[in-house]
Amino acid sequence: MPRQVKTMPLAFEASQKLDLPVRTGAERLPTYLLEEERVLGALLDAKQLTRLQSGRYRYVVTSLQVFQLLKPVVSLQIHMEGDTLVMQALDCELEGLGIVDDFALNLEARLTSTPDGLQGHAHLSVSVSQPSLLKLIPKRVLESTGESILSGILIGIKARVGQQLIDDYRSWCRETDGNGSTEQTPQERVPMQGRGA
């Protein structure tokens, strides 16, 4: 009986850290992070995000086009642990042509409010079988390409935290502060945007 050769899946991963100072109003960050749907919409592309229930969301990862044929759709869970917002991928399915088997995506991201601003860490990994269309391409080349894609996704999220999330935080401060004492906050924070990206 001929022995079947089991193909090892492709595996790639990337991590990113964040240190974003907030010079004015940092004491309100823990309250802002409780606005889970608002915060998640600022971190990710809100147009690709669907709320399923409290703490559960569906996200179409359009920036991760697997071999240009498939779009992962991720089920996300978001919750607070103290002053830390935790986002995890619970499961993932693929939209597109069914030529990839054994696809798995893992994500864990943490965003912590500190007296000085926001600190975060994100880790993203993917494992997937190698499609027959790409059998001639060395595994290491495909994995290197995959790691570059994942790094790009995390860098994009980091840039959103440094720009879009901070802008949304400023808006939230203005909306929730009736006495207008945060009106000077945006001018004070403008120089920080580049530092966090």
Q: What is the model's pLDDT at position 182?
A: 41
Low-confidence ranges of the chain (pLDDT < 70): 1-8, 62-70, 95-101, 130-135, 178-197
Instruction: State the pLDDT at residue 65.
Output: 53
Cα separation, 116 vs 126, whole angstroms: 33
Secondary structure (3-state) at 6: coil
Report percent pLDDT > 70 for the chain.
74
pTM of the model: 0.72
Which residue is associated with the tokens 């779009």?
Answer: 71
Q: At what angle do helices 139-160 and 36-43 cross, to 10 degrees?
A: 130
- What pLDDT shows up at residue 130? 67
In this predicted structure, what is the pLDDT of residue 64?
A: 57
> Are the beta carbons of 157 and 122 closer than 8 angstroms?
yes
Give the C-alpha distances (Å, rounded to integers) separating 142 from 8, 10, 66, 111, 129.
Answer: 13, 8, 11, 31, 11
